[in-house]
Structure 1
Amino acid sequence: MKPAKDIPDSYKSPSLRRWRVMETLSHRGAVKRHVYGHDITNDTARVSTSIKEFDRESMTITTHSGSIYKLLGAPGHSRGGTIAWKVWCSNNDIHAEKDVTREYFDIDKLFSNGSTNDVIPK
């Protein structure tokens, strides 16, 4: 494994599209959240280390390792990202997982003003 100082900056600040946020439970009982998706900066599937902080205004996630992930567009499903996620889970003692993406980006809330009618406010 490369030392952190040898990792290119583009790997420390990836931009993800078709991303998901997952909550995990390890066999040891640790609960953590991670983001995965297609890293368009490096054209590869990515899974983050655990999430430390989320900035809704800039749509960025900072991880405990110090990487800053820019979330582009609406969440989605990346075939490569899903495969990377499954491999990551099997390699990291994950007992259970839960998709919590809607806590980070809810398309229904984006286009809703909270009313029950279909009228879009002017």
Structure 2
Amino acid sequence: MTDKMQEGKVEITGGIWSVPSVSQQPSLQLARWSVRQTERGLRYLVGYNISDQEGRVSTAIQGFDVSTARVTTRSGRTYELVGPPGHDPDAEWVWQSVASPDLNWTDVSDEFEMQLKEHQRSNKLDTE
């Protein structure tokens, strides 16, 4: 996003740009993340890419390793989920820009969060 000063008003404009290839950036950390499931059953990550300081939408999710909080997507990239689910305005803007306006989707972030919490609880019990 860029800011433009015009007659004392700030105009904020944004854009969509290509992301590094999977070979250049095989993994990243995603904060303020959510998981969106489309009516076709495909699931996508939407969140804040910590290292590049940008909103990010993944390709379709292929796997979730609850023990490492890592999600693998169709592109082959791995996303480490950092912290609890949340909402990031930049990521939301990207989602609105790339998703079809008539796309029906449901937020299923709670499913992922519950699995992570259950794994943490069972690990804590194992170490006591």
The reply to whether TM is greater than 0.5 is yes
Q: Could you tell me which residue of structure 2 aligns to residue 33 of structure 1?
A: 43
CA distance in 2, matches of 1:3, 1:61: 18
- Aligned partner of 2:30 among 13, 16, 31: 16
- Contact preservation (8 Å) 1:15, 1:71: yes
- Contact preservation (8 Å) 1:14, 1:42: no
- Alpha-carbon distance change, 42 to 3 in structure 1, aligned in 2, over 3 angstroms: closer
- Aligned partner of 1:99 among 88, 107, 110: 107
Question: Residue 104 of structure 2 aligns to which amino acid in structure 1?
Answer: A
| Mapping for residues 83-94 of structure 1, pairs under 5 Å | 83-90=93-100
**TM-score of the superposition, structure 1-length normalised?**
0.72
Q: Which structure exhibits the higher relative contact order, with contacts defined as CA atoms closer than 8 Å and separated by 6 or more residues?
A: 1
**TM-score of the superposition, structure 2-length normalised?**
0.69
Aligned residues with identical type, % of pairs: 33
- Aligned partner of 1:71 among 74, 81, 84: 81
- Contact preservation (8 Å) 1:59, 1:71: yes
- Contact preservation (8 Å) 1:23, 1:100: yes
Structure 2, gaps ≥5 residues long: 1-17, 122-128
Deviations 1:43-78 (Å, cap 9, x if unpaired)? 111000000000111100000110000000111111
Q: Could you tell me which residue of structure 2 aligns to residue 42 of structure 1?
A: 52
Instruction: Report how many aligned residue pairs link the two structures.
Output: 102
